[in-house]
A and B are shown apart, each in its own frame.
Chain A
Amino acid sequence: MLKLIASRIATAIPSLIGVVIVTFMLTRVLPGDAAAYFAGPAATPQAIAEIRTKLGLDKPLPVQFVDYVTALSKGDLGSSLSTGQPVATEIASRLPASAELTLSGLILALAIAIPFGIMAAVKQGTWVDHACRVITTAGVSLPVFFTGLLLVYVFYFKLGWAPAPLGRLDVFFTAPPTVTGFYLIDSLIAGDLETFRSAAAQLAIPTVTLAIFALAPIARITRASMLSVLSSEFVRTARAAGLTPYKVIMVYAFRNAMLPVITTLGMVFSFLLGANVLVEKVFAWPGIGSYAVEALISSDYAPVQGFVLAMAILYIILNLVIDLAYGVIDPRARSEA
């Protein structure tokens, strides 16, 4: 197991180096001049030149790259111009917000999609199956910003059940002391139930928005993979041996059907991080996606580089976890590695 982890991490290092080089080049090659943008509305060419010197953008590219890598090796991701904060602190404070949202969305999606997929496969051709098809089609075809705005319109604007879409907490609550950065967990650690309720209420609609989006691929893959497993011989044997339907489906069939589901889960998680950008915009969520987009719009290099790097590391960890999960579920995957 340890050897597997070590070899996986070793293969990740070249990709990380690639990511560092590519993001650096991309942000520099992109059209747009950070100095002109930040020089403000009444800037003269001299003012722009002064800002360019201050930002170190007048140096040749290789020198800028060496500066960047040197700083990076010390854990310094630079400072964002548009928010004025060090990128590392910004990412550290914003990543939990995105992660809390993405994970809640994913868990909710799983909680609905997997039972739904299994039911649809077991009762193929019945109303459950049709309902599954309708919901998954709707899920993939509705863009998240649309579902988000629609849910806000109905549940906040029309019905007044949901709180104002103003980010992670109501305006008059203060954030719980940071332990994990997840407000739901931190507020419970602090024993502050009122804050917990507020955080949960703020989280509800964005979570549903993400879950609707994530539900479709998970339910479809669960259904397809269950169908193929249910028609295989060992299931027939199990049934013939008189095992209860529950045992046949949940213990024998489902466990075997899970591998493709886990693979999809990895993909869905990465989609969700992408979809997050839009959901964060709609719900004024102080997450990492909206941060990166704003930085990109204003040619603010440091946060873009920091964001891509953080995401690359996240994906590498995610892939590692999925590979390990394979091994747990399927002994064959363990021996192959």
Chain B
Amino acid sequence: MNRREFLKTASVTATASAAGVAAPAVFSSAQAQARAETLLIVSESGPNNLDVQGVGTNVPGYEVSWNCYDRLITHPMKDVNGTPYYDRDKIEGELAEDMTLGDMSATFKLKKNATFQDGTPVTAKDVKWSMDRAVSVGGFPTFQMKAGSLEKPEQFVVVDDHTFRVDFLRKDRLTIPDLAVVVPCIMNSELVKKNATAQDPWGLEYVKQNTVGSGAYKVTKWTPGTEVVFERNDKWVGGPMPKIKRVIWRMVPSAGNRRALLERGDADISYDLPNKDFVELKDSGKLTIISTPYSNGLQYIGMNVTKPPFDNLKVRQAIAYAIPYQKIMDAVLFGLGKPMFGAAPGGVKEAVWPQPAPFTTDLVKAKQLLTEAGYPNGLETTISFDLGFAGVNEPLCVLLQENLQELGIKTTINKIPGANWRTELNKKELPLFTNVFSGWLDYPEYFFFWCYHGQNSVFNTMSYKSAAMDAFIDGARAAAAKGDKAAYDADVKGMIDLAFADVPRVPLYQPYVNIAMQKNVTGYEYWFHRRLDYRSFVKS
């Protein structure tokens, strides 16, 4: 580089940086108008697939599907502590205008004026094709359908252009709610078929990139890892016309910057900030903060019951009395969680779940139990957690480690990267760990089926097997299908009592979904999938 070139680059840089400093964030009036009709959402991560039925679609992908597709039915809202909250027990039509429930089938009349976003009318043929796809593509969507006993394409019948019937394989209370979850969304079958190939008959590649539904929004631009832009579908008939015309969803990996964007008023909504930030934002009063407990979700301490030392009930009880519950609530969650400990002893009173377990921090009792179990001098083990949620898991495990130290239990903390976590859980070898489970369908037996049943699913992380427990769970499912309330309540109480008596896992708290939004934004609704529903938002 000679002097002349050097001076040239120097002056170019000088002008470039001068322009940079001189350009403040001013919007022209057209942009101000656009801004008033646009919702800017910032979050840590974005979708990897626009198709909820695709291979390995991540949780942000569910949000896209929820807003861009219609289902046959959905849930209305009810009020829970001032926040609209989906009503598990009520159903209303979205694409269907009418549902007739028979003994072994349900018949849906489709809305006649419903059209897909490209203008083709929605017919029962599309509905059947979409349902067939959900039960056939395999992976998560198929298993979710199976949870509601929706397993075979033969169950889905086209009666006429606007009438569709689902035949039941067996009586199952979860069949109808399972039609209102994210997975059974209705797609434009002709459009997908046109873009499908012989190797890919369900058009997974096409639907991954394009929203082909009849929903309230459509994705007009998607830059993976950067942003998703949604535009309103003005021909939507699934519900009242949404107020927000455009939604821009930007991925901002730094939590500090997400908070700064909210506080400066540049972003409208964010929902995955650290608990500490949420508490501080709440106290500052500049933003609307809404915290709702996860439906049917729990953070817990799990113990592997197949291997020493946790095959010993007394050791498990000792751990349950050694957990610093209140400290976790205060120092880790900053109060943003619903305590699930300290219930009065004497058995379960109500057939509801989640509910607090009868444990409190009592180190004397814990020490005594540990001595009775034959470990008067303590023992050594590891505590494992998922690094993907290190913000909560790490301090939680450190607090637990401190308390266990006092009992003479020496622990090393084993941090497992997110990609690895599920593999490790699947091996069922971790002795002591913390984890979260939450079910889309908000029924106790659904939770227990995944987490405590002897079929030993991925989420029975403790490898807990008990004939008595299986009998309660199967009994509750059968009673629910028959509508036998008394038997159902007895079974649910039985399974909860047994879970607390055998303590393969110790409930800690029900986590909160935390939403921070500008004061001029209203209309947040809580859904079982815990993602945002853009259709109800209003910006004034």
B136-154 to A contact mask, C-beta < 8 Å, 1/0: 0011101110010000000
Interchain CB contact under 8 A, B422 and A166: no
A213 within 8 A of B: no
Q: Which of A122-130, A196-204, A237-245 contacts B (4 or more CB under 8 A)?
A: A196-204
- Among residues of B, the one whose C-beta sits closest to the C-beta of A55 is B55
Task: List residues of chain B with CB within 8 A of the CB of A291.
Answer: 225
Interchain CB contact under 8 A, A284 and B251: yes
Interchain CB contact under 8 A, A44 and B457: yes
Q: List residues of B (484-498) whose CB comes within 8 Å of A's CBs.
A: none
Task: List residues of chain A with CB within 8 A of the CB of B17.
Answer: 108, 204, 207-208
Q: Which of B2-10, B377-385, B500-508 contacts A (4 or more CB under 8 A)?
A: B2-10
Q: A40-B57, A258-B1 are in contact. Are A197 and B23 (CB under 8 A)?
A: yes
B471 within 8 A of A: no
Q: List residues of A (255-273) whose CB comes within 8 Å of B's CBs.
A: 255, 258
B25 within 8 A of A: yes
Interchain nearest-CB distance for A94 vs B (Å) = 9
Interchain nearest-CB distance for A99 vs B (Å) = 15
B423 within 8 A of A: yes
B48 within 8 A of A: yes
Cβ-defined partner of B260 (8 Å) among A83, A152, A171: A152
Cβ-defined partner of A163 (8 Å) among B3, B25, B138: B25
Interchain CB contact under 8 A, A200 and B23: yes
B77 within 8 A of A: no
Indicate the member of A43, A110, A164, A299 with the most B CB atoms within 10 Å: A164
Interchain CB contact under 8 A, A43 and B458: yes
Cβ-defined partner of A32 (8 Å) among B14, B49, B140, B419: B419
Interchain CB contact under 8 A, A47 and B139: yes
A250 within 8 A of B: yes
Q: Which of A154-162, A215-223, A307-315 contacts B (4 or more CB under 8 A)?
A: A154-162
Chain A, interface residues (CB within 8 Å), range: 35 or more
B374 within 8 A of A: no
Task: List residues of chain B with CB within 8 A of the CB of A299.
Answer: 419-420
B435-470 to A contact mask, C-beta < 8 Å, 1/0: 000001000000000100000011100000000000
Interchain nearest-CB distance for B135 vs A (Å) = 13
Interchain nearest-CB distance for A335 vs B (Å) = 21
B209-227 to A contact mask, C-beta < 8 Å, 1/0: 1000000000000011111
Q: A47-B143, A184-B16, A200-B23 are in contact. Are A111 and B9 (CB under 8 A)?
A: yes
Cβ-defined partner of B252 (8 Å) among A108, A111, A156, A284: A284
Q: List residues of A (98-112) whose CB comes within 8 Å of B's CBs.
A: 104, 107-108, 110-111
Interchain nearest-CB distance for A97 vs B (Å) = 9
A62 within 8 A of B: no
Task: List residues of chain A with CB within 8 A of the CB of B264.
Answer: 156-157, 160, 164
- Among residues of B, the one whose C-beta sits closest to the C-beta of A298 is B419
Instruction: Give the complex CA separation of A166 and B41 in angstroms.
Output: 11
B30-57 to A contact mask, C-beta < 8 Å, 1/0: 0100110010101001001100001111
- Among residues of A, the one whose C-beta sits closest to the C-beta of B59 is A41
Interchain nearest-CB distance for B178 vs A (Å) = 12
Task: List residues of chain A with CB within 8 A of the CB of B22.
Answer: 197
Q: List residues of A (131-175) whose CB comes within 8 Å of B's CBs.
A: 149, 152-153, 156-157, 160-167, 170-172
Q: List residues of B (237-257) whose CB comes within 8 Å of A's CBs.
A: 248, 250-254, 256-257
B198 within 8 A of A: no
Task: List residues of chain A with CB within 8 A of the CB of B45.
Answer: 294
Interchain CB contact under 8 A, B23 and A198: yes
Q: A166-B252, A200-B23 are in contact. Are A43 and B140 (CB under 8 A)?
A: yes
Interchain nearest-CB distance for A194 vs B (Å) = 8
Task: List residues of chain A with CB within 8 A of the CB of B417.
Answer: 31-32, 297
Interchain nearest-CB distance for B228 vs A (Å) = 12
Interchain nearest-CB distance for B221 vs A (Å) = 9
Instruction: Give the complex CA separation of A167 and B58 in angstroms.
Output: 23
- Among residues of B, the one whose C-beta sits closest to the C-beta of A97 is B226
A302 within 8 A of B: no
Instruction: Give the complex CA separation of A44 and B162 in angstroms.
Output: 35
A234 within 8 A of B: no
Interchain CB contact under 8 A, B260 and A153: yes
A60 within 8 A of B: no
Interchain CB contact under 8 A, A51 and B139: yes
Instruction: Give the complex CA separation of A94 and B147 in angstroms.
Output: 41
Task: List residues of chain A with CB within 8 A of the CB of B10.
Answer: 111
A228 within 8 A of B: no
B208 within 8 A of A: yes
- Among residues of A, the one whose C-beta sits closest to the C-beta of B440 is A42
- Among residues of B, the one whose C-beta sits closest to the C-beta of A198 is B23
Task: List residues of chain B with CB within 8 A of the CB of A108.
Answer: 13, 17
Interchain nearest-CB distance for A173 vs B (Å) = 9
A286 within 8 A of B: yes
Interchain nearest-CB distance for A181 vs B (Å) = 13
B426 within 8 A of A: yes
Interchain CB contact under 8 A, A164 and B266: yes
A82 within 8 A of B: yes
B261 within 8 A of A: yes
Q: A48-B426, A201-B25 are in contact. Are A40 and B56 (CB under 8 A)?
A: yes
Task: List residues of chain A with CB within 8 A of the CB of B423.
Answer: 31-33, 36-37
Instruction: Give the complex CA separation of A200 and B12 in angstroms.
Output: 12
Cβ-defined partner of B223 (8 Å) among A47, A160, A286: A286
Interchain CB contact under 8 A, B139 and A111: no
Interchain CB contact under 8 A, B419 and A37: yes
Interchain CB contact under 8 A, B56 and A38: yes
Task: List residues of chain A with CB within 8 A of the CB of B252.
Answer: 165-166, 284
Q: A43-B139, A48-B426, A50-B138 are in contact. Are A298 and B16 (CB under 8 A)?
A: no
Interchain CB contact under 8 A, B418 and A298: yes
Interchain CB contact under 8 A, B16 and A172: no
Task: List residues of chain B with CB within 8 A of the CB of A48.
Answer: 426
B263 within 8 A of A: yes
Instruction: Give the complex CA separation of A35 and B457 in angstroms.
Output: 17
Interchain nearest-CB distance for B492 vs A (Å) = 21
Interchain nearest-CB distance for B27 vs A (Å) = 7
Interchain CB contact under 8 A, B257 and A172: no
Indicate the member of B12, B49, B147 with the most A CB atoms within 10 Å: B49
Interchain CB contact under 8 A, B263 and A157: yes
Interchain CB contact under 8 A, B225 and A83: yes
A81 within 8 A of B: yes
Q: Which 10 residue pairs of A and B lie closest in terms of their CB atoms, listed nearest first?
A: A38-B56, A204-B20, A83-B224, A32-B419, A299-B419, A201-B23, A33-B423, A40-B140, A36-B422, A197-B23
A-B contacts besides A84-B208, A104-B16, 19 pairs, CB < 8 Å: A32-B423, A38-B58, A42-B143, A42-B450, A45-B458, A47-B142, A48-B426, A81-B48, A84-B54, A104-B13, A164-B261, A165-B257, A172-B27, A198-B23, A201-B20, A204-B20, A282-B254, A286-B223, A297-B417
Chain A residues packing against B (C-beta within 8 Å): 31-34, 36-48, 50-51, 54-55, 80-85, 90, 93, 104, 107-108, 110-111, 114, 149, 152-153, 156-157, 160-167, 170-172, 184, 196-198, 200-201, 203-204, 207-208, 250-251, 255, 258, 281-284, 286, 290-291, 294, 297-299
Chain B residues packing against A (C-beta within 8 Å): 1-3, 6, 9-10, 12-14, 16-17, 19-25, 27, 31, 34-35, 38, 40, 42, 45, 48-49, 54-59, 138-140, 142-144, 147, 208-209, 223-227, 248, 250-254, 256-257, 260-261, 263-264, 266-267, 417-420, 422-423, 426, 440, 450, 457-459
26 residue pairs from A and B, CB less than 8 Å apart: A32-B420, A33-B419, A38-B58, A42-B144, A43-B143, A43-B458, A47-B139, A47-B142, A47-B143, A84-B54, A84-B209, A85-B224, A90-B224, A114-B6, A160-B264, A163-B24, A166-B42, A166-B250, A166-B266, A172-B27, A172-B31, A200-B19, A204-B20, A258-B1, A284-B257, A299-B420
